Structure 1
Amino acid sequence: MKTKISIIILVLLNFYSIAQSPSDALRFSQAFNGGTARFTSMGGAFGALGGDFGSISYNPAGLGVYRTSEFTLTPSFKSRNINSSFNGSSGEDTRNRTYFDNLGFVLSFKPSGDSQSGLVNLNLAFGYNRTNDYFTNAFATGNNTSNSIMNYFANLPQDIDGSYLTIPSNPNDNYDPYQELGSYYWPAILAWNTFLFDPASGGGYIRSLNDGDGVLQKNLYETSGSTGDYVFSLGLNFSNRLFLGATLCAQNLDYSNSTTYFEDAFSSNDTLNIGDRFNALDYYQNLETKGSGYNLKIGGIYKPIDGLRLGLAFHTPTYYNLQDTYSYSIKSYMRSGTYQESSPIGRYDYHLETPFKTIASIAYVFKDLGLLSLDYEYVNYSTMRFSNGGDGLSFSAENNLIKDTYKSVSNIRVGGELRVKEFFLRGGYAFYPSPYKKGGLNDNANRTILSGGVGYRSGNFFVDAAYLYSIQKENYIFYDLRNTDGSLAINPVSTKMTEGKLLVTLGFKF
């Protein structure tokens, strides 16, 4: 079998690869409806309205609309269901979560007293709006008679001698496994040391699965975490016609992904057995990403005539400082015995720059009857960028892949509100087109959001409730295995995500 080599020989090979991918950049660049119940119930279409704490994360000029000071608190409950289909088999999993979507304070001042001309209001705000969350459980399973993850493991190190893949039995104190072996190769290193692939007679490597065998494949991934805006905002009201605002956002990012993948062999052809025989494997991957960032948002709202409101806002890119912590583990079940190997814990620091955003809005307020509102948001996801890797890596390959994978999109949000005395009835719609270029695996991964809600206001107290329903179809692959023409050798998993979210906002004016 494989023999151990000394650390002196091992360090002759210095590969380094990182875990960052275009999908990571997209995950941390997208923002969906979050904040208060009123904001959510109207599809987030508040760019020309304001007067709601949730709007501060989209068009900070909405802060200038406030006439009084205010406090809001929004707890929420979310249930996310994932239905998966792979090679004719289906899987399903659901995850529920309770958290807070919003906590906000607004302080309103009248520099000119009761005058309604000039600077009527100067408002300050600080608080939190959740912009995205990553709580998901997804399970997929199916039979595969074409290939195995062992093919993927064997393909990774095709040009590397097997001696370099062997984990040293007694590494010295100066041994840095991720620097010397590279995180990209660690799945192959673990598979090699658990006998999941072997040297091929003509060079390279072959899987340990017998010809004629198929495998039952199962994959479970669990993700958690969120991103949110800690906002510090200034809003100005000039003569009740022009509203200007600026928001400095401190972003907090917390994401974890735990993936468990299984394979079990079936349809074994014993007449083809040569050497050891594969029965099953377990493959575990763990990733945690933590960090912080900042961005600046500026905007304006103008009322050319009573009732009509026009809004425009710009968001600078968010500049994140991030750290990944990751590890791998493989356990193989062979005829000769059970073998298990785990990677050391790896850490990597880097920067991420998200896209610039432009939001144009229009709304009409029907005095005491209600309102209608529309937001148009432009985002070019091909401009996402990784930079400043901890080892000086330029990320040129990753950034070129981002440019080749993603495109610009036009997001639409529509909302309406009907008022009957102290009661309010609301509805909303939002459409987020797929950011993937045509021909990609997820070029039809659009997200549609429907929402509705009610509200009640009495004196200085108000309460709002909202329900949001979201649906999105996506595809993913268990592992990246290609045919000679570059096409995928493994069928993708098709998923349908449905999400329900209930929010309640309690508010007080003072």
Structure 2
Amino acid sequence: MKKVLPFLCLLLSQWAIAQTPEDALRTAWFTQNGSARSMAAGGVMASLGGDIAAANINPAGLGLYKTRELVLSPGFLMNNNKLNYRGTDTTAKKNAFMYGASGLVIGSPSRYSDSKFTSTAFSISVNQLANYNNHIQYTGFNNVSSFTEQYLEELTRDRADTNAALSNYIFGSSLAFRAFLIDTISGPGGTVAGYQSLVPISTGVIQSYDAITRGGYNEIALGLAGNMADRLYIGGSLTVPVVYYERNLTYSETDPTNNPNNNFSSFTYQENFKSQGVGVGLKLGMLYKPKEFWRIGFALHTPQLISFNDQIRSSITANTESYAGIRTVTSDELNSGNPGTRQYSIVTPWRAIASASYVFREVANTHQQRAFISADLEYVNYRGARFRAAANADQSSIDYYSQLNSTVKSYYKGNINARIGGELKFDPWMFRLGAAYYGSPYAGSDIKADRIVTSGGIGYRNHGIFIDLTYVYTFVKDANFPYYLNDKPNTYAIQTGNLGNIVATIGFKF
């Protein structure tokens, strides 16, 4: 990790709205979402089938449908974050509405006696793969580094003169320079020998990070599956990812000494970042019943190609006391009132899933089935995520993304997610439990990150109507970096806490 972060810092300064490896992770590292039934059983669905969530996991499972079904899955999300930054604990909460797999499945027996398929099924559905509504907040005392040092590194690396410092970095360094948060160091004959920060790092500052995020990673799936003699099922889904992400960030550093003569009282950096994307992908799968009671499933999720359009606005307010007083500078002032924009694409990592299920009393009449237990193993190649420059990009942008992709390969690794779950059925009631583990995507051992998921729920089915209710509790472990530097160890907040999901699914067979 320490070898990667300095190079990452270099990348961050290449453009006013630089992408980072974390941008790729937003569309790669997430826990399984679906219908209330599938989530209650830990997210297992690669070998079970018979659920609309199969379109997003293993489309072959749609082949078990022989009737039509309309499904809606509203839900509610509860984030409870705990962060420790340089020895100081902070908590933050954020609640939001979400949804699981919803849509229409149409299954029908084959019309032709000589057909290889006993029945076929088609589905159109939408599912929220990841929900971005969250609140990350922490504060702590730091006498080692400052947010402003990234600006010093940028100006020093580019050997920027004062004209460049005033105008070339309108979403970062130029704001700090115009607010006198950073200033020149005079050399011989009035020349500029370098730049300095007015933040008194040696005596330390109180740093505060507060980010509210919104949006989601949504997926529209058009699924098609075929059933061969109720033994072999094959299927595929054409997926259309639709992504929206917004972050409102407020970061500040404050002088805890209250010294009126050290030319620094505080500064606040504010940023509004929006990212919208749409793309295409493909999911393929098969499900096989080798013997009565047993089901085996395999699925492959090809990389999705998602085209993004990003916008950013930022500002800095600095109080340098007698040095220059209170000054506020915004990017709108330097960019004719317009946000900064960038167009690019992300190729998401591929996934492979292997699964097995044991269905007690596996018979054609599903009302006579009494229970199941199922397990999924999923491999995700996180280091395979790739950025691509827009078609009209210049060579500097192409080179930038090539370097960023090299960083992604070093920053992340492939890892395995494991899910297990089961159901007991006392017709018309069902009771479900599940658990899952999502391993860290980070290649370095410095950052401890994972997701541990526990879930449970009940279901009711009668006269073509079914209602499922599920609660999912996720233990969260991650890290959050307020800024990155080349020349000093990078500090970060240790994130723990939990995430609660309440999901209900209402369905109608017709």
TM-score, normalized by the shorter chain, greater than 0.5: yes
1:35-50 to 2 correspondences below 5 Å? 35-50=34-49
What is the CA-CA distance between 1:214 and the residue it aligns to? 2.4
Q: Please say if residues 63 and 233 of structure 2, whose CA atoms lie closer than 8 Å, have aligned partners that are also in contact.
A: yes
Please state if 1:310 is matched with 2:300: no
Identity %: 32
Please state if 1:462 is matched with 2:466: yes
The whole-number CA distance in structure 2 between the counterparts of 1:29 and 1:212 is 40
Change (3 A) 1:269 1:52: same
Secondary structure (helix, strand or coil) at the match of 2:403 reads helix
Residue in 1 that maps onto 2:489: 487
What is the CA-CA distance between 1:324 and the residue it aligns to? 0.7
Deviations 1:428-481 (A, max 9, x none): 111110011133x42x20111111111011121111010001112112222213
Structure 1 letter corresponding to 2:360? F
Q: Please say if residues 24 and 348 of structure 2, whose CA atoms lie closer than 8 Å, have aligned partners that are also in contact.
A: yes
Residue in 1 that maps onto 2:319: 333
Counterpart pick for 1:298 among 263, 284, 294: 284
Deviations 1:105-164 (A, max 9, x none): 011111248x89942211111021111111110110112233322333222211211221
Residue in 2 that maps onto 1:282: 268
The whole-number CA distance in structure 1 between the counterparts of 2:341 and 2:200 is 37
Residue in 2 that maps onto 1:251: 241
Residue in 2 that maps onto 1:20: 19
1:3-14 to 2 correspondences below 5 Å? none
Secondary structure (helix, strand or coil) at the match of 1:278 reads coil
Q: Please say if residues 213 and 268 of structure 1, whose CA atoms lie closer than 8 Å, have aligned partners that are also in contact.
A: no
Q: Please say if residues 462 and 506 of structure 1, whose CA atoms lie closer than 8 Å, have aligned partners that are also in contact.
A: yes
What is the CA-CA distance between 1:15 and the residue it aligns to? 6.9
Residue in 2 that maps onto 1:351: 345
Residue in 2 that maps onto 1:446: 450
The whole-number CA distance in structure 2 between the counterparts of 1:386 and 1:22 is 9
Residue in 1 that maps onto 2:33: 34
1:56-95 to 2 correspondences below 5 Å? 56-95=55-94
Q: Please say if residues 360 and 377 of structure 1, whose CA atoms lie closer than 8 Å, have aligned partners that are also in contact.
A: yes
Q: Please say if residues 318 and 328 of structure 2, whose CA atoms lie closer than 8 Å, have aligned partners that are also in contact.
A: yes
Secondary structure (helix, strand or coil) at the match of 1:396 reads helix
Please state if 1:416 is matched with 2:460: no
Please state if 1:388 is matched with 2:389: yes
Structure 2 letter corresponding to 1:318? Q
Q: Please say if residues 63 and 225 of structure 2, whose CA atoms lie closer than 8 Å, have aligned partners that are also in contact.
A: yes
The whole-number CA distance in structure 1 between the counterparts of 2:29 and 2:467 is 29
What is the CA-CA distance between 1:281 and the residue it aligns to? 0.8
What is the CA-CA distance between 1:391 and the residue it aligns to? 2.4
Residue in 1 that maps onto 2:366: none
Q: Please say if residues 47 and 312 of structure 1, whose CA atoms lie closer than 8 Å, have aligned partners that are also in contact.
A: yes
Secondary structure (helix, strand or coil) at the match of 1:126 reads strand
Secondary structure (helix, strand or coil) at the match of 2:359 reads strand
What is the CA-CA distance between 1:210 and the residue it aligns to? 4.3
Change (3 A) 1:423 1:495: same
Q: Please say if residues 213 and 269 of structure 1, whose CA atoms lie closer than 8 Å, have aligned partners that are also in contact.
A: no
1:131-142 to 2 correspondences below 5 Å? 131-142=129-140
Deviations 1:166-224 (A, max 9, x none): 14xxxxxxxxxxxxx257xx311100000011223462211113475321111100111
Deviations 1:335-361 (A, max 9, x none): 142101111310100011011111111
The whole-number CA distance in structure 2 between the counterparts of 1:27 and 1:436 is 13
Aligned residues: 471
Counterpart pick for 2:180 among 188, 192, 195: 195
Secondary structure (helix, strand or coil) at the match of 1:200 reads strand
Deviations 1:386-406 (A, max 9, x none): 012352322111000001111
Change (3 A) 1:281 1:139: same
The whole-number CA distance in structure 2 between the counterparts of 1:15 and 1:50 is 47
The whole-number CA distance in structure 2 between the counterparts of 1:117 and 1:373 is 31
Structure 2 letter corresponding to 1:385? R
Change (3 A) 1:497 1:407: same
Residue in 2 that maps onto 1:361: 355
Q: Which moved more, 1:186-195 or 1:14-23?
A: 14-23
Residue in 1 that maps onto 2:8: none
TM-score by length of 1: 0.88
Q: Please say if residues 449 and 478 of structure 2, whose CA atoms lie closer than 8 Å, have aligned partners that are also in contact.
A: yes
Change (3 A) 1:149 1:30: closer
1:35-184 to 2 correspondences below 5 Å? 35-112=34-111, 118-158=116-156, 159-167=159-167, 181=168
Structure 2 letter corresponding to 1:416? G
The whole-number CA distance in structure 2 between the counterparts of 1:501 and 1:93 is 17
The whole-number CA distance in structure 2 between the counterparts of 1:231 and 1:131 is 12
Please state if 1:475 is matched with 2:475: no
The whole-number CA distance in structure 1 between the counterparts of 2:24 and 2:404 is 10
Structure 2 letter corresponding to 1:231? A
TM-score by length of 2: 0.88
Q: Which runs of 5+ in 1 are unaligned?
A: 1-13, 168-180
What is the CA-CA distance between 1:268 and the residue it aligns to? 5.6
Residue in 1 that maps onto 2:190: none
Counterpart pick for 2:309 among 301, 312, 323: 323
The whole-number CA distance in structure 1 between the counterparts of 2:218 and 2:359 is 30
Deviations 1:285-317 (A, max 9, x none): 121110101111111100011110010111110
Residue in 1 that maps onto 2:3: none
Q: Please say if residues 58 and 313 of structure 1, whose CA atoms lie closer than 8 Å, have aligned partners that are also in contact.
A: yes
Residue in 2 that maps onto 1:5: none
Structure 1 letter corresponding to 2:443? K
Secondary structure (helix, strand or coil) at the match of 1:468 reads strand
Structure 1 letter corresponding to 2:307? N
Instruction: Tell me how large the CA RMSD over aligned residues is.
Output: 2.0
Please state if 1:425 is matched with 2:431: yes
The whole-number CA distance in structure 2 between the counterparts of 1:404 and 1:136 is 27
